Amino acid sequence: DVKVTQSSRYLVKRTGEKVFLECVQDMDHENMFWYRQDPGLGLRLIYFSYDVKMKEKGDIPEGYSVSREKKERFSLILESASTNQTSMYLCASSLVFTGELFFGEGSRLTVL
């Protein structure tokens, strides 16, 4: 079974703090994604990466950055957390050939 592991299930941070969300997949998938899930808004793409050191902006990249130094790991960084970044963050990975996304369990971030 494909396993996508997100480092933290629940985080509480203060406004202005730097936040790191890490995601690791164990199936040698080329593609990795970060989504944000909010009620009524679905899954909104923040960034995705199709190869090591490659990244593409999604629909809501403002206030976020990403890092992919190794194929299995994709990190989401909030340089200066704000209250409107309180949300559920979902990481996913996929093979380019098949396209099926495998999601992590999610990281629920609260910014106070």
Partner 1 sequence: GENVEQHPSTLSVQEGDSAVIKCTYSDSASNYFPWYKQELGKRPQLIIDIRSNVGEKKDQRIAVTLNKTAKHFSLHITETQPEDSAVYFCAASWNNNDMRFGAGTRLTVKP
**34 scored as a contact of partner 1 (CB under 8 A):** no
Strands 102-103 and 87-94: antiparallel
Q: Which of 11, 58, 63, 77 binds partner 1 (CB under 8 A)?
A: 58
Residues between 60 and 79 with contacts to partner 1, criterion CB under 8 A? none
What are the tokens at 52?
């090591």
Q: Which of 74, 94, 107, 111 binds partner 1 (CB under 8 A)?
A: 94
**26 scored as a contact of partner 1 (CB under 8 A):** no
Size of the site for partner 1 (CB under 8 A): 27
Output b/e per residue, 58-80; b: 16+ Cβ within 10 A: beeeeebebbbeebbbbbbebee
